[in-house]
Amino acid sequence: MNTDGIMDIDANYYKPLMVVVRAEDAGMSVRAIVERRLGVSRSLLSRVKLTEHGITVNEQRVYTTATVAEGDIIRIRMEQETSEDILPEPIPLQIVFEDEHLLILNKPPGIVVHPTHGHYTGTLANGVVYHWRERGEKVRFRPVNRLDEDTSGLVVVAKSPYIHQQLSDQLQADAITKRYAAFVYGVPPEQAGTINEPIDRDPDSPHVRIVTPDGYPSVTHYEIAAEYGDGAASLVRLRLETGRTHQIRVHMKYIGCPLIGDAMYGLPPEAGELCAVWEQAAGRQALHAEMLGLTHPMTGQWMEWRAELPEQLKLLEQLLEQKQESEPEAT
């Protein structure tokens, strides 16, 4: 036993989740209690019960069907994991928040979140794995949300399977708030509105997404924050209700307001000299995940983080404001 009266457990486990059985829970099964009190999924329970100390009652290994009495202490332990397939690299990280459960990062543009075919190194994951190794933490890289390579802004990474499951459930229930800022051509038809149009792959180009009646439900809420040059462009703030690939970019193009700098869904090269200046200033699609809000799975506290516009988009904003002050030019 250690000084807390808890059996010394192999260091390969994360700090356990713990439930003290209340009077009204007496006679219930371990599975029923941890599902109700902690929201532990059945798939996660199936994983932990295979390990020696995965599920215990009063530090004795039990099956999930075991019944418990008032005052019993249930502990759920998950084995520590590392991302063995991700090469640690000393990549600069903009860490907004970190505790033993969560890591919130402000991702710069031009970096992929997770290694994929053709991007095995130089990704956000490579930098995070290096960061944890330097801190002596055994953690697997588990991003909860992802951003396109050329989209900047806030990304949340879970530091255990339980935290990842809990945040994924929040994401699925639209309980995580994700707000974006986008500079677009033109002005949306309403000051504030909702784009509820299904999205799927373009059958002629699998990397491209399109609005199609047979697509997956996709909902984007928007609000106009500023207009420039007599309607030549605008700053739009958006909130995602769903999280389809390229959703904002596809939906804004659909309503006639493609993102400035978007090579895949934006304007053609012959759009005009002024547009070319804006495109060059943005350097990529002018989209930034500026706010993220969620309920911390361990404390139950609502938390929010914000990331200001990166310098490139600040420059673009200045150019658009200059356009607003001058006579509109044909684009």
10, 25, 85, 148: the active-site residue: 148
Neighbour tally for 192: CB within 10 Å:
11
Count of Cβ atoms closer than 10 Å to residue 310 Cβ: 17
126-145: buried (b, 16+ CB within 10 Å) or exposed (e) per residue? bbbbbbbeeeeeebbbbbbb
Contact 209, 202 (CB under 8 A): yes
- For 169, half-sphere exposure in the C-beta direction (CA atoms, 13 angstrom radius) is 14
Q: Is the CB of residue 28 less than 8 Å from the CB of residue 67? A: yes
Distance CA 242, CA 270 (A): 33
The three-state secondary structure class of 186 is coil
Taking a C-beta distance cutoff of 8 angstroms, is the pair 9, 2 a contact?
Answer: no
In the structure encoding, which two tokens stand for residue 154, read together?
A: 């806030």
152 in Cβ contact with 108 (< 8 Å): yes
Respond yes or no: is residue 150 known to be catalytic: no
Closest to 58 (Cα-Cα) out of 30, 82, 80, 100: 30
**How far is residue 320 from each of residues 192, 224, 225, 235, 272, measured CA to CA in Å?**
21, 15, 13, 9, 15
- 173 φ/ψ angles, rounded to the nearest 5 degrees: -90, 5
Question: Hey, which residues are catalytic here?
Answer: 148
